[in-house]
């Protein structure tokens, strides 16, 4: 029977290796998922330098102003797209936020600016981080933010209000099926510790 | 199949075994461990059942009568985890322990000590899962896991200590399942009787083999997901926290990458069992053995690539929706092959309707309902209406109660005389079947209707127009729950005594396990039989 015992060990070794591989695969899905979202626009993750830099965990780590999206090739005046602006302050952040413009009808390719008004309602200074999301997801790849308060962390003194600008272009390559886009910001209390696992690369 | 007969052993060396509880703690015998798995599963079946009866009592009429929503939320999540991880999976592992060595002519499982460890990990895991209920009574923490069994982030990131208990419980349950799976695979690959090729393997063993591979592929992913949850909760990582660049939807992907194959993990051993029972009571050979084995493999492979149909409404791109819809529907093809083979096995057979056969018939019909309603849910356009409604609850209870639990009951009635050496009480068995099948439909049929009408799941209160259907459902659930006491009684009676069972318990039964006496000696197939 010793012969059998040896082949047991081999097979067990292979199976344990498979278990370890499956466990590693679970963790590998984390960066894979990020890549997939960026490529497909799934989950409204927007393409383009600064946002990418952020979603890979570099909070407040502006990956260079050189990553501004390429200038629009043309302005498509044959159609219009309506962009709605919303914002939510997440629990744990005693701030107020609202867009000064709620909605804008524009031609794809035009450069536009909107302003969000953000106020710290507490009596202590707080650093916040806005996370953008574009709906529908397919529009996310064609929604370029040239300048955005979400590129960096925002520090507000007690009671301070600030007008935060957003400069964006809806690229003319966007599908003509999409007539309506919603840009939503979730403002979070900025994360202090940047642990190794936070940086997903 | 032909084989040498086993010489009945004298039980002389049994005297070396320690007595009392030590014997059960240290046993490495596949039959004893199998029995422990099955008894544990039965106990946890009643624990999980009692929880859901409390839920159904609360849902008897609208408004909050018996409990606060927080407690309600704990009950539904723990009910699901107990039924899946502590009742259905251990029951299937109990079957594997008892039957696979008997059916393939092996003296025991290949890794007996691992087998013992695999079982004894279960009770601590079950205690971890339910302990927070008790702790809350003494004012520690705010109760058990209250997020539903899916533990979706960010809710689970914010939850109380119940989430941590559940995470560790899942880790332990996962280790137990993986040990069991490795044992099954090694046993089937290495310990088959001489002459038993893979394509002569009993089909029950094939079903379990695919289950074991699925467990090895997916349980570690779940372990990884809950580990990420744990580090998000306590160690400042941001896998699922959008503030730190994470994504809560990622959790749903990880969870269902495990969660969908889990459905087939629960069902494949029972699909493997069905052909044996149908062939026995139709007195015909199994129809389409190869087709069924290939269908098992096809379902196993497909099951790991369809997970996102559990969250069609989360905002997937159209391309992904279409892919997951069609791949999900593709699973119905190998399943249809199985249904065809099951029916063809009975076709023109000399059928008799003993309790196991009744349960097998009930299984086929009601599992068919689960399959058909599953096709409806797989339709992306329709799913927006059905998603997170009672329709889903009814669907997966047709799959996991009618398909899972009733499948287990089929196996218990089929093999109980072999295990105990006594016939069970046929009258009580039939009574148990009819009460179960009628009250099951009384419980879950109305849930299709309230779900379609828009009643969301995981809600302790509901709109007035759902009252009648919910009242019917609650009445059905209480009959269903209390009918199971008959099941426990039949098993107890059968263990204690009854008409002597022969080696070949059923006249139409075919397979190595029926060549042994009933009950088989503690050590069987020490000389492997030769299969020609």
Q: pLDDT tens-digit profile of B379-405?
A: 999 999 999 999 999 999 999 999 999
Contact B244 A186 (CB under 8 A): no
Answer yes or no: do B250 and A33 touch at CB < 8 A. Answer: yes
What DSSP string describes B343-387? HHHHTT------HHHHHHHHHHHHHHHHHHHHHHHH-HHHHHHHT
**Residues near A100 by Cβ (< 8 Å), separated by ≥ 6?**
A114, A115, A116, A117, A163
* Residues pairing with A104 in the sheet: A83
User: Does A27 touch chain B if contact means CB atoms closer than 8 Å?
Assistant: yes
Give me the phi and psi of A106, to 5 degrees please.
-145, 165
**pLDDT tens digit string along B122-151?**
999 999 999 999 999 898 888 999 999 999
Q: CB contacts < 8 Å between A and B, how many?
A: 118
pLDDT band per the 50, 70, 90 thresholds, residue A42: low
Flag whether pLDDT at B163 surpasses 60.
yes
Q: Cα–Cα distances in Å, from B313 out to A117, B390, B393? A: 32, 16, 17
CB-CB: which of B239, B244, B319 is closest to A191?
B244
Whether the predicted pLDDT of B237 surpasses 60: yes
Judged by DSSP in three states, A136 sits in coil
The number of C-alpha atoms within 13 Å of B96 and in the hemisphere containing its C-beta is 36
How big is chain B, counted in residues? Answer: 532
Check residue A118 and report its DSSP letter.
Answer: E
Quote the pTM value: 0.87
Say what the ipTM of the complex is: 0.86
Spans of all domains in chain A: 41-190
Say how far apart CA B198 and CA B289 lie, in whole Å: 12
Q: Is A28 on the interface with B (CB under 8 A)?
A: no
Asked whether B177 and B219 are in contact (CB, 8 A), the reply is yes
- Name A133's bridge partners: A184
Residue A73 reports pLDDT greater than 70: no
**Residue A48: per-residue pLDDT:** 46
Name the minimum distance, in Å, from the CA of B480 to any CA of chain A: 39
Residue in A8, A22, A30 closest to B220 by CB: A22
pLDDT in tens, B425-434: 999 999 999 9
- The continuous run of DSSP H or E covering B489 comes out as helix B467-496
Instruction: Count other Cβ atoms within 10 Å, centred on residue B372.
Output: 12
* Beta carbons of B243 and A129 less than 8 Å apart: yes
CA angle B180-B280-B32, nearest 5°? 30
How far, CA to CA in Å, does B106 sit from each of A14, B503, B527? 22, 18, 9
Kindly list the structural domains of chain B, giving each domain's residue range(s) and its CATH number in brackets, ordered by start.
31-515 (1.20.210.10)
Chain B positions in Cβ-Cβ contact with residue A185 (cut-off 8 Å): none
Q: Is the pLDDT of residue A71 over 70?
A: no
Interchain CB contact of B235 with A (< 8 Å): yes
Return the closest-CA partner of residue B346 out of B360, B327, B332: B360
Cα atoms in the Cβ-side hemisphere of radius 13 Å centred on B526: 10
User: Are B40 and B119 a contacting pair, CB within 8 Å?
Assistant: yes
Cβ contact (<8 Å) for B186 and A22?
Answer: no
The DSSP 8-state label assigned to residue A174 in this structure reads S
> Which pLDDT score is estimated for A191?
66
**Residue B317 and residue A42: Cβ atoms within 8 Å?**
yes
* Residue A4 touches partner B, C-beta closer than 8 Å: yes
User: In the predicted model, is pLDDT for residue A51 greater than 50?
Assistant: no
| pLDDT value, residue B93 | 97
User: For residues B60 and B461, what is the distance between their CA atoms, to the nearest angstrom?
Assistant: 10
Q: Is the pLDDT of residue A37 over 80?
A: no
pLDDT at B10 > cutoff 50: no
Question: Comparing B267 with B18, which gets the higher pLDDT?
Answer: B267
At residue A54, the pLDDT reads: 39
Asked if A8 lies within 8 A of B190 by C-beta distance, the reply is yes
pLDDT confidence band for A92 (50 / 70 / 90): confident
Confidence of residue A192 (pLDDT cuts 50, 70, 90): low
d(CA A182, CA A85): 6
What value does the mean pLDDT of chain B take? 93
Write the pLDDT tens digit of every residue in A162-176: 999 999 999 888 888
- Please tell me whether residue A193 adopts helix, strand or coil conformation: coil
Residue contact B221–A191, C-beta within 8 A: no
Q: Which of A26, A189, A200 sits opposite B225 (nearest CB)?
A: A26
CATH number of A41-190: 2.60.370.10
- Residue A61 pLDDT > 60: no
Helix axes B89-104, B248-282, angle to 10 degrees: 40
- Using 50, 70 and 90 to split pLDDT, how confident is the model at B346? very high
Q: Please give the full DSSP string across B48-99, using - where no structure is assigned.
A: HHHHHHHHHHHTTSSS--S--HHHHHHHHHHHHHIIIIIIIHHHHHHHHHHH
CB contacts, 8 Å: B527 with chain A: none
pLDDT at residue A60 tops 60:
no
């Amino acid at each position: 029977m010793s012969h059998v015992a040896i082949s047991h060990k081999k097979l067990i070794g292979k199976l344990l290796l498979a278990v370890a591989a499956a466990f590693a695969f679970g963790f590998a899905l984390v960066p894979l998922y990020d890549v997939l979202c960026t490529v497909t626009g799934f989950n409204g993750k927007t393409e383009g330098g600064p946002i990418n830099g952020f979603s890979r965990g570099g909070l407040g780590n502006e990956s260079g102003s050189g990553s501004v999206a390429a200038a629009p090739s043309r302005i498509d005046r044959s159609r219009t797209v309506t962009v709605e602006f919303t914002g939510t302050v997440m629990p744990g952040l005693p701030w107020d936020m609202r867009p000064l413009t709620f909605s804008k009808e524009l031609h794809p390719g035009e450069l536009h600016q909107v302003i969000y008004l953000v106020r710290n309602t507490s009596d202590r200074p707080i650093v916040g981080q806005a996370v953008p999301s574009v709906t529908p997801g397919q529009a996310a790849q064609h929604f370029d933010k040239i300048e955005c308060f979400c590129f960096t962390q925002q520090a507000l003194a007690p009671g301070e209000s600030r007008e935060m600008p957003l400069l964006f272009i809806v690229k003319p390559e966007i599908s003509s099926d999409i007539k309506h886009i919603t840009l939503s910001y979730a403002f979070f209390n900025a994360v202090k510790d940047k642990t190794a696992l936070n940086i997903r690369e | 199949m032909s084989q040498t007969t086993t010489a009945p052993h004298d039980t002389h060396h049994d005297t070396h075994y320690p007595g009392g509880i030590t014997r059960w703690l240290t046993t490495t015998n596949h039959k004893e461990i199998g029995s422990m798995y099955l008894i544990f599963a039965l106990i946890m079946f009643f624990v999980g059942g009692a929880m859901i009866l409390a839920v159904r009592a609360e849902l008897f009429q609208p408004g909050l009568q018996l409990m606060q929503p927080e407690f309600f939320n704990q009950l539904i999540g723990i009910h699901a985890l107990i039924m899946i991880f502590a009742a259905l999976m251990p029951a299937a592992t109990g079957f594997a322990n008892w039957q696979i060595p008997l059916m393939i002519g092996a003296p025991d499982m290949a890794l007996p000590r691992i087998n013992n460890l695999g079982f004894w990990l279960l009770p601590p895991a079950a205690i971890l899962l339910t302990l927070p209920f008790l702790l809350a009574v003494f004012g520690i923490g705010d109760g058990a896991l209250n997020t539903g069994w899916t533990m979706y982030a960010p809710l689970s990131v914010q939850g109380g200590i119940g989430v941590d208990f559940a995470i560790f419980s899942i880790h332990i349950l996962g280790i137990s399942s993986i040990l069991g799976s490795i044992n099954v695979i090694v046993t089937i690959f290495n310990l088959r009787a001489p002459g038993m090729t893979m394509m002569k393997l009993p089909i029950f063993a094939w079903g379990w083999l695919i289950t074991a591979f699925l467990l090895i592929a997916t349980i570690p992913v779940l372990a990884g997901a809950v580990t990420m949850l744990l580090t998000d909760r306590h160690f400042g990582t941001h896998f699922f926290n959008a503030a730190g660049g994470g994504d809560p939807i990622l959790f749903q992907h990880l969870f269902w990458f495990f969660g969908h194959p889990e459905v087939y993990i629960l069902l494949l051993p029972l699909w493997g069992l069905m052909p044996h029972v149908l062939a026995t009571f139709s007195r015909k050979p199994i129809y389409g053995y190869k087709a069924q084995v290939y269908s098992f493999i096809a379902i196993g492979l497909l099951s790991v690539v369809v997970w996102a149909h559990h969250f069609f409404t989360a905002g997937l791109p159209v391309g992904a929706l279409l892919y997951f819809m069609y791949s999900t529907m593709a699973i119905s093809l190998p399943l249809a092959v199985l249904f065809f083979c099951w029916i063809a096995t009975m076709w023109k057979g000399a059928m008799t309707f003993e309790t196991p056969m009744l349960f097998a018939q009930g299984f086929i019909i009601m599992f068919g309902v689960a399959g058909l309603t599953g096709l409806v849910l797989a339709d992306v356009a329709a799913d927006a209406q059905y998603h997170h409604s009672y329709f889903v609850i009814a669907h997966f209870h047709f799959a996991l109660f009618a398909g899972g639990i009733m499948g287990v009951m089929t196996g218990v009635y089929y093999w109980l005389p072999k295990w105990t050496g006594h016939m069970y009480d046929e009258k009580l068995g039939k009574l148990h079947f009819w009460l179960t099948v009628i009250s099951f439909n009384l419980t879950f049929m109305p849930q299709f209707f309230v779900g379609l009408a828009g009643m969301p799941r995981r809600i302790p209160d509901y709109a007035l127009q759902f009252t009648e259907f919910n009242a019917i459902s609650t009445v059905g659930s209480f009959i269903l729950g209390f009918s199971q006491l008959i099941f426990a009684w039949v098993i107890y009676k059968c263990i204690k005594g009854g008409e002597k069972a022969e080696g070949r318990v059923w006249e139409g039964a075919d397979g190595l396990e029926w060549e042994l006496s009933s009950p088989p000696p503690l050590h069987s197939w020490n000389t492997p039989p030769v299969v020609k």
